[in-house]
Structure 1
Amino acid sequence: MGKRIFWLMMLILVLTISCGEKKESSKGAGAEKEITLRFSWWGGDARHKATLDVIKLYEEKNPGVKIKAEYSGWDGHFEKISTQITGNTAPDIMQIDYNWLYNFSKNGDGFYDINTLKDDFNLDNYDEQALSYTIINGKLNAIPVGMNGRAFFFNKSLYDKAGVEIPKTFDELLATDKVIKEKVSKDAKSLDITSTDSGALFFIEYYVEQKYGKPILTAENTIGVTKEELADAFKFYKMLVDSGAVVSAKDRAGAGNFPDDQNPLWINGELGAVLTWNTMVGQYENMLKEGDTLVSGDFLTGIGEHKSTFIKVNMAFAINKNTKYPKEAAKFLNFMLSDPEAAKILGTVRGIPLNKSAFAELEKEGQTKGPLAEGLTKALAFAGPKTSPYIEDERTRKLGLEITQKVDYNELTPEQAGERLYTELEKLLKQMTR
């Protein structure tokens, strides 16, 4: 009987140890489970390729982590992210436009507070001033990538062929346009100031700031101009379009649906200049025909005495507040934005970086010079008054496009356009700020 009890006790002991080993084994297997982080961004082919190369490098260095890339062009990207955030299906890491913070995180609770991830993301690589742009209610909602400014970029080769200097005023632009049409191509245009998502909205902003020293929307989220001042801006825009020097929304529609940097006139060397974000320079440069040269030009003046270009944080990276892997997301972001190898790969596809480590690396590589950097430097020096982030809200952009198209098709007079923009902005501001 005693022997039976002894062997029974031994059997129980063996089984207990065995079960414990299985649990430990199971625990170990779980720890080695691969983590997948979803990462979304918008951009052109150059940005896509560089970002994918950085992802590949990170995965090689971190075998337990996979980054699922979700990327596209600009058009429709906001709507996609908006739907995902609303439906709680947003990626772990998101490239966001600066003004989206005010759509999705008015109180600072819309994204993960990166201040709480200091052990995994090196915030010392950023000046406090830079980070202040993306702090809401004391919470660091995103990491700003760089600064962005709207600037004029010219196809110098077109002006060389026509034998004229690159213009510095709107009067010079109109005069040189006639020469270009005579000597190079009757179909040529001198300036593209419209965009596929906002029409001439940002040119209207450029005009009223230069003439009146006031933004369309103030930093306090009020309308900063009168109906008459907006009408004045639309009159000037229509004059430029009617002269044949400037591309209109109607011209764009007639040429087909294409991204801003793929205007056929630009690709064929028949467009003199664009007014666009300095971070877009690489894409425009890549689209030039072989032998043509892009340069950063002066801001066209002659409207008024005030500085008038628009600057902002070009974009930012946010972490989903509901991510299962905040530390891992922060580690990947830190690598992408701070690692020397990553900095070399990304170059300036997202502009001149605010990250000190990345900037130092690009400076060594000679990548902090050229049209992109020159355009930003000029924009910072010619910046107009601070503007509400709601000027870039999708609803504001769509309103700008709609009114521009109606002006181009003579469905609205400049006076009616000024009144319409003012009245509709009043309604939109109430919706956006409540």
Structure 2
Amino acid sequence: MSTFSRKTVACILAFVMMFVLVSCGAKTSTQSPDTTNSTQTAGEKPQSKDEKINMRFSWWGADTRHQATLEAMQIYMDRHPNVTIEGEYGAFAAAYEKLLTQIAGGTAPDIVSVDYQWTFELMKQDAPFVNMYTLEDKIDMSNINLDFARSYGGNDEYLIGLPVGMNGLGYMYNVSFLDQFGLTPSDDWSWDDILEYGKKVHETDNQKYLLYNILNHWVYLVKAQLKQMNGNTFIKDDYTPGFTKEEMAKIFTYIRDLVDTGTVPPFEEGVLYDSVYADANPEWLNQNIGIFPTSSSHLPAALKASDFEISSMRYPGVKDSVDPGILVTPAVYLCVYEKSAHIDQAADFIDFFLNDEEAIKVLKDTRSVPVNTKAQEILVKEGVLSETLVNFLDQAMTAPGKADNSPSLNNEVLSVLKDYIQQVGYKQMTPEDAAEAMIIELEDILETIKG
């Protein structure tokens, strides 16, 4: 894959260089670590190599990511016998609430994984993380595009963390499943095509479904269709809904149509695996589902877990859409908790995690294609970046949508959206009633969070 990979990585790099966005709601002043609660601040000399250091590192994800991360941690600890790093990992669904609880209690890990969806809200609430710009003498950032890092992670004066990978949204599909039902996958599939083909599949075999969405991907569907429809983020910069009642009713009607045609399983069945990725979803693994919308960071685990051929196609759209709507973001940020007693050591670990060749080879693509160009080159040379993963990102990058702003990523706002998606999916509300009620509820919440 040498020629192909070099060209593809060049495309990835070109995209990253073009991804220069101004973050909304980010801090406007440089933040220094809290010296009253930390025994060390950025800029101090590293602790003695004989001093016993205990640190914690949090993350989430599939088992392949867990095992690779633990192995990389062990390599670091072997090189630094005085350092012990404890891993804290689990399901993504509970990760943010756990982090907020830890921050409130002053007990967050020394090194924290932060999803792009949390960054604006954390920065607005005076994020308790060390400004990465103060660690440039401890972490080699020369191979990381900081404009891309700032797209969701800060501005010219404050950077909440460093992105590990690049994430794109797309459709992962079972090749034999689509072939069985006479379907020819294409990057030009529209939302109407999904309905037509989904109905065909379920009418042919009522145990099969063309598509399965976990709850977060229902949210992505709503946001993508909205951007394609009118070019707006879910919530506009002025903290008002980015849609009319009629527009949201149309999107909710599409969700109901997916259920009614048997394109997706009934919500009563889907809820059983609502936060389970494809690599652990029995319906996908037993080949009862043809397409699993996913982000590129979860594709490697699915490829490993599935004993059938997988390929990918671009996320659906509409002809002459206002905005392509496809989500392309940093996969995850690594941040240093400002109350850590070992800030310099935490920074040293992040430098190892992002830049060390042995660590790169162990971590592979478990956090999607690395943002670090050095890591990309190593993984291409090693043949680690699979053609399926590279194609997946290529497809997303052909039509990246408008970046979400701070209010569109607010946790309370997303909770309301998820609630009304479920009300429609469970057929407890009509699309029209759900759209009207959601706008009223959102307007109350937005007035509060606007401040």
The TM tier, using the shorter chain, reads 0.7 to 0.9
Alpha-carbon distance in structure 2 between the residues aligned to 1:318 and 1:212 = 35
Q: Match for residue 159 of structure 1?
A: 178
Within 5 Å, give how 1:267-346 maps onto structure 2. 267-288=285-306, 290=307, 292-302=308-318, 305-306=321-322, 307-346=324-363
The offset of 1:256, in angstroms, is 5.8
Indicate yes or no: 2:194 matched with 1:177: no
Give the counterpart of 2:419 among 399, 402, 409.
402
- Asked if the contact 1:199/1:249 (under 8 Å) is kept, the reply is no
TM-score normalised by structure 1 residue count: 0.85
Within 5 Å, give how 1:143-154 maps onto structure 2. 143-154=162-173
Q: Match for residue 19 of structure 1?
A: none
- Asked if the contact 2:314/2:396 (under 8 Å) is kept, the reply is no
Query: 1:432–1:110: structure 2 CA closer, same or farther, 3 Å change rule?
Result: farther
The offset of 1:376, in angstroms, is 2.0
Alpha-carbon distance in structure 1 between the residues aligned to 2:275 and 2:142 = 41
The offset of 1:30, in angstroms, is 8.2
Q: Match for residue 87 of structure 1?
A: 105
Worse overlay, 89-98 or 363-372: 363-372
Worse overlay, 169-178 or 94-103: 169-178
Query: 1:281–1:428: structure 2 CA closer, same or farther, 3 Å change rule?
Result: farther
Q: Secondary structure at the match of 1:418?
A: helix
Indicate yes or no: 2:172 matched with 1:187: no
The offset of 1:241, in angstroms, is 1.3
Alpha-carbon distance in structure 2 between the residues aligned to 1:293 and 1:422 = 43
TM-score normalised by structure 2 residue count: 0.82
- Asked if the contact 1:220/1:388 (under 8 Å) is kept, the reply is no
Alpha-carbon distance in structure 2 between the residues aligned to 1:313 and 1:220 = 25
| Paired residue type of 2:358 | E
Q: Secondary structure at the match of 2:113?
A: strand
Within 5 Å, give how 1:74-223 maps onto structure 2. 74-106=92-124, 110-133=128-151, 134-136=153-155, 138-166=157-185, 168-181=189-202, 185-195=205-215, 198=216, 200-218=218-236, 221-223=239-241
Alpha-carbon distance in structure 2 between the residues aligned to 1:303 and 1:402 = 30
Alpha-carbon distance in structure 1 between the residues aligned to 2:297 and 2:64 = 12
Q: Number of residue pairs matched?
A: 400
Alpha-carbon distance in structure 2 between the residues aligned to 1:303 and 1:409 = 30
Query: 1:219–1:269: structure 2 CA closer, same or farther, 3 Å change rule?
Result: farther
Q: Match for residue 348 of structure 1?
A: 365
Q: Match for residue 394 of structure 2?
A: 377
Alpha-carbon distance in structure 1 between the residues aligned to 2:237 and 2:384 = 33
Q: Secondary structure at the match of 1:123?
A: coil
Which is greater in Rg?
1
Worse overlay, 211-220 or 355-364: 211-220
Alpha-carbon distance in structure 1 between the residues aligned to 2:125 and 2:357 = 35
Query: 1:432–1:46: structure 2 CA closer, same or farther, 3 Å change rule?
Result: farther
Deviations 1:84-137 (CA, angstroms, capped at 9, x unpaired) = 001101110000112322233227652111222222111212123123232247
Indicate yes or no: 2:263 matched with 1:242: no
- Asked if the contact 1:121/1:330 (under 8 Å) is kept, the reply is yes
Query: 1:30–1:97: structure 2 CA closer, same or farther, 3 Å change rule?
Result: closer
| Paired residue type of 1:280 | H
Q: Match for residue 442 of structure 2?
A: 425
Q: Secondary structure at the match of 2:331?
A: strand
User: Structure 2 unaligned runs (5+)?
Assistant: 1-46
Query: 1:206–1:413: structure 2 CA closer, same or farther, 3 Å change rule?
Result: same
- Asked if the contact 1:211/1:303 (under 8 Å) is kept, the reply is no
Query: 1:269–1:107: structure 2 CA closer, same or farther, 3 Å change rule?
Result: closer
Alpha-carbon distance in structure 2 between the residues aligned to 1:281 and 1:159 = 18
* Percent sequence identity over aligned pairs: 28
The offset of 1:232, in angstroms, is 1.0
Q: Secondary structure at the match of 1:274?
A: strand
- Asked if the contact 1:221/1:388 (under 8 Å) is kept, the reply is no
Alpha-carbon distance in structure 2 between the residues aligned to 1:256 and 1:278 = 19
Indicate yes or no: 2:63 matched with 1:42: no
User: Structure 1 unaligned runs (5+)?
Assistant: 1-28
Worse overlay, 109-118 or 335-344: 109-118
The offset of 1:285, in angstroms, is 2.5
Q: Secondary structure at the match of 1:66?
A: strand
